[in-house]
Amino acid sequence: MHATKIERGFTLIELLIALALFSIMSLLAWRGLDTVLQSRAAVEAPGRAALELAAAWTQLEADLHAARTAAQSVQPAPHITASAQQLTLLRAPAHCAGCWEGVVYDITQRDGDTVLQRRATAAYSDAEAARTALSQLTANTRPATEHVLLRGATKMRIGAWRELSGAGAWQALGATGENVFPATSASTQSPAKAALKIEWQLAAPWDGWVSKIVLLENRW
């Protein structure tokens, strides 16, 4: 006679121990994945913020360059005015030869966040019409094309460097818009010069002020 082979399964205690080990391993794996995701977000957020800031500076410099281009045909100096919280300019848009366009930079509330926005008028073939539209846009009485340049921008400060005949100084601009350029120098050998110092106070991940100096020279 052959002995009958008895097949033995897992006991309840063994199953409970296996389930406990599986739960611990799952928890450790989830914590590891969560740490990886948080680390990725922590790395990506400053990167996105840096790209957005760089794009905002690039747009601002492009607008100031276009303001200099427009000045060559309509006036002896660029139409660039600024206050502590607002920058306005008259520029020559690349998409419309012989046209002028008004642009305003300021801080505003948008979707529960404080942002730096860029507002622009339509393009005009007449410089005076563009000036009028820009004046209305500055006073918030005219519709505009709006674009958020920088989220988390809470404040803006603008200073102007005025130099005439070799002497100059930084001036903090007040609440009223001022022409960035001084009167043209009487001496052709020493033309009037100007520069803008733009500062933006930013929230996380910057948590502080960032600034840029843009050189402007009155040589038209």
Q: Quick check: is 113 in a domain?
A: yes
pTM for the full model?
0.73
Judge whether 33 lies within some domain: no
Buried (b) or exposed (e) across 160-175, using 16+ Cβ within 10 A?
Answer: bbbbbeeebeeeebee
In a domain, 119, yes or no: yes
Burial class (CB within 10 angstroms; exposed 0-12, middle 13-18, buried 19+) of 100? buried
Domain presence at residue 153: yes
Distance CA 102, CA 165 (A): 31
Structure confidence by residue, pLDDT tens digits, 75-120: 556 688 888 889 999 988 888 888 889 999 999 988 888 999 999 9
The residue length of the chain stands at 220
Report in angstroms the alpha-carbon separations of 138 from 32, 52, 114, 202. Answer: 52, 24, 19, 23
Number of separate domains in the chain = 1
Residue 124 lies in a domain: yes
Q: Which domain holds residue 207?
A: 45-179+188-217
What amino acid occupies position 142? Answer: R
28 domain residue, yes or no: no
Whole-angstrom Cα distance, residue 33 to residue 25?
12
Q: For residue 26, tell me if it sits in a domain.
A: no
- Let me know if residue 57 belongs to a domain: yes
Tell me the average pLDDT of the chain. 79
pLDDT, tens digit (0-9, with 9 covering 90-100), for 136-178 = 988 887 777 889 999 999 999 998 887 666 677 788 887 787 8
Whether 115 contacts 153, CB under 8 Å: yes
